[in-house]
Amino acid sequence: MRRIKLDRIDRRILHDLQEDGRITNVDLARRAGISAPPCLRRVRALEEAGFINGYHASLNPHLLGYEVTVQALVGLNSQAKADLVAFEDLVNEWDEVRECYMLAGEADFLLKIVAHNWDQYQRFVDDKLTAAPNVSHVKSMMVLQTAKHKPGVPIDVQAADE
């Protein structure tokens, strides 16, 4: 992975791609104030340097039948490195879990779980989550409404070049 120093143009490219991953290279170049070939080279360099992890479509879960989203705090009996890794490996096998964060504090992990309905979520908890080795407790918090969903990070496109 090649290390690159971000300038104003790179930050504009990252900002615009984060806002619209389907933007054409021509439009991206125009917004960045450069021509298309160097813009494409910069995008590839940003990808190779790891600034861009990938591209995806943001789907509407309700239209796909996922009516329930739950944030679950999970506590483990052991926080030994091998046990934490084993839990992460298990979570990666569960499609219902869309996000997983290791935490410091009261719980060990925060999971974002989607289900078609509350019964399906409860079956997931009973059959998989609480049945998993080393899980000591699960605290479920059902999401009632999403007030803001803005993936990514804030990018200051006006910052001075470093």
Tell me the mean pLDDT in the region 127-154: 95
User: pLDDT tens digit string along 2-49?
Assistant: 667 899 999 999 999 999 999 999 999 999 999 999 999 999 999 999
pLDDT at 158: 84
> pLDDT-based confidence at 162, cuts 50/70/90?
low
12, 32 Cβ separation under 8 angstroms: yes
Q: What is the pLDDT of residue 2?
A: 62
Domains observed in the chain: 8-48 (1.10.10.10), 68-142 (3.30.70.920)
Token readout for 100 is 């997983």
Phi-psi region of 65 (alpha: psi -120 to 50; beta: other; left: phi over 0): left
User: What percentage of the chain reaches a pLDDT higher than 70?
Assistant: 96
- Give phi and psi for 82, each to the nearest 5: -60, -35
Over residues 153-159, the mean pLDDT reads 89
| Contact criterion met (CB below 8 Å) for 111 and 99 | yes
Distance CA 71, CA 101 (A): 11
Check: CB of residue 125 under 8 Å from CB of residue 141: no
